[in-house]
Structure 1
Amino acid sequence: MDLIATPLGLALLAASVSFLSLVISKESKISEFRQDWIDTLRQEISELISLLWEIHYKATSDEPELQSYQNLIPAGIRFSQLSAKIRLLLNSKEIDSQRINSAIDSLPGMDAKNVAKILDRDAVMESATELIALTNKVLKSEWKRVKRGEAFYFATKWCLVVSLVVTLALIISTSF
């Protein structure tokens, strides 16, 4: 019995370690992708806000050539591209992501009802501040998820720790 229990216990221990290694590798890659997502969202939001200010300064400039429609088109196109990319990065089913999308919708100059707000420095500042706050909330929760690990990894890690202790206890008890 001792000869069967010990090799079986060691095989179970080896399988557990192998499985844990596989889970750690997979979850590490997921965390890496999530960190890339965090960095991309941060970059795109900051660029969107930068373009918002660029459009505001051009639209309120005393220089007619800066105010011209032709001068505002490239920034407007890039602004639209960024807002679309940000929407694609977000999960539309999550409340905080929906709030970010709503904040983007209400940015000055985003649609006909908000176009005049692009001339109002306070409206631009308020919109930018709100978008930053909402984005920070999402980034903070995602960063916590990266630090903690995915739920499956977290649960698997503790299940394997328990099985390791039980296996070692079985090995020790059969050895004596």
Structure 2
Amino acid sequence: MGDISVGAVGAAAIAGFASLLGLIIAKEQKVSEFRQAWIDALRKCFVDYLVNINAVSDNIRLRSAGVHDDKDGLLEGYRALNEASNGIKLRINNKEKTASKLLKTMGDFEGLASDNKKMTPENIKLIEDRFLDESQELLKFEWKRVKRGEHIFVLMKYIAILIIFLSVPATIYLIKFQDREMEMQSISHSNMIRVEGFSPRY
């Protein structure tokens, strides 16, 4: 009876914990999927940012050479550049080291864009190389975070391992404790029977 009760309680506890762990894993898996989609959107913003920086530079250079005067194209280039820039800024945490480095480089780009004369391929190339390195570093950092899992998932994983590690000796101890208790009760019951068997009869 003791073995059954301990086993039932242990099985119920393990089943409850497994259900909780399953819910947490499902939730964190969904969070990781959202984070992956966020990374893909951020990567697209990086590409759009560089494409439009160079498009604006080409437009300015052609206007300066008198080849054509496409004001609408230049304005559209700046609009798309601002859209990509804001898309990046809204998706990253400026308090993280990798993000703050990238934002500083984007500030250098914006310094060039404020003066058409500075928007030359040579000036852009210098900053573009830094931007590529820092954007790749940021994407790598975020990808590692996705692979590692969210903080609560990592915590629950270690808690699960700890509970499994402790549950085996705890269950063995409880079973032995109840067996000993039952044995003591059995001995006590036997002694009571002997005492009653030798009691004087009147």
What is the alpha-carbon distance in structure 2 between the residues aligned to residue 12 and residue 168 of structure 1? Answer: 13
3-state SS in 1 of match to 2:160: helix
**Contact preservation (8 Å) 2:42, 2:87:** no
Distance 2:66 2:100 in 1: 38
Q: CA RMSD in A?
A: 2.1
Match of 1:93 in 2: 95
Aligned-pair CA distance for 1:5 = 0.8
For the pair 1:144 / 2:135, whether they are aligned, the reply is no
Tell me if 1:21 matches 2:22: yes
CA positional deviation for 1:18: 0.8
Q: Percent identity?
A: 25
Tell me the equivalent position of 2:55.
Answer: 54
Tell me if the contact between 2:98 and 2:134 (Cα under 8 Å) persists in the aligned partners: yes
Residue matched to 1:75: 77
Aligned equivalents of 2:97, 2:117: Cα separation in 1 = 29
User: What CA distance in whole angstroms lies between the structure 1 residues aligned with 2:128 and 2:97?
Assistant: 19
TM-score, L = length of structure 2: 0.77
CA contact (8 A) 1:9 1:170 kept: no
Q: Which residue of 2 aligns with 1:2?
A: 3
Q: CA deviation at 1:6?
A: 0.7
The match for 1:134 is 134
Give the Å deviation of 1:75. Answer: 0.8
Which residue is equivalent to 1:155?
155
Separation in 1 of the partners of 2:36 and 2:6?
44
User: Who wins on radius of gyration, i.e. which is larger?
Assistant: 2
Q: Taking CA–CA contacts closer than 8 Å with sequence separation of 6 or more, which of the two structures ends up with the larger relative contact order? A: 1
Displacement, 1:139?
Answer: 0.8
Deviation string 1:93-150 (CA, Å, 9 cap, x unpaired) is 22221222221121166553x53221x2121112111111111111111111111112
Aligned to 1:106: 108
What are the Cα deviations for residues 62-102 of structure 1, in whole angstroms up to 9, with x where unaligned?
A: 4532x443331111111111111211111122222122222
* CA distance in 2 between partners of 1:108 and 1:18 (Å): 52
Work out the CA distance in 2 between the residues paired with 1:150 and 1:96: 19
Shift of 1:167: 2.8
Q: Structure 1: 5+ residue runs without aligned partners?
A: none
TM-score after normalising by structure 1: 0.87
Q: Which runs of 5+ in 2 are unaligned?
A: 180-202
Q: Assess if the C-alpha contact under 8 Å between 2:112 and 2:118 holds in 1.
A: no
Deviation at 1:59, TM superposition (A): 1.5
What's the secondary structure of 2:19's corresponding residue? helix
Q: Give the deviation of 1:168 after TM superposition.
A: 4.1
Between stretches 166-175 and 131-140, larger displacement belongs to 166-175
Equivalent pairs counted in the alignment come to 173
Residue 43 (structure 1) shift:
0.5
Aligned-partner SS, 2:48: helix
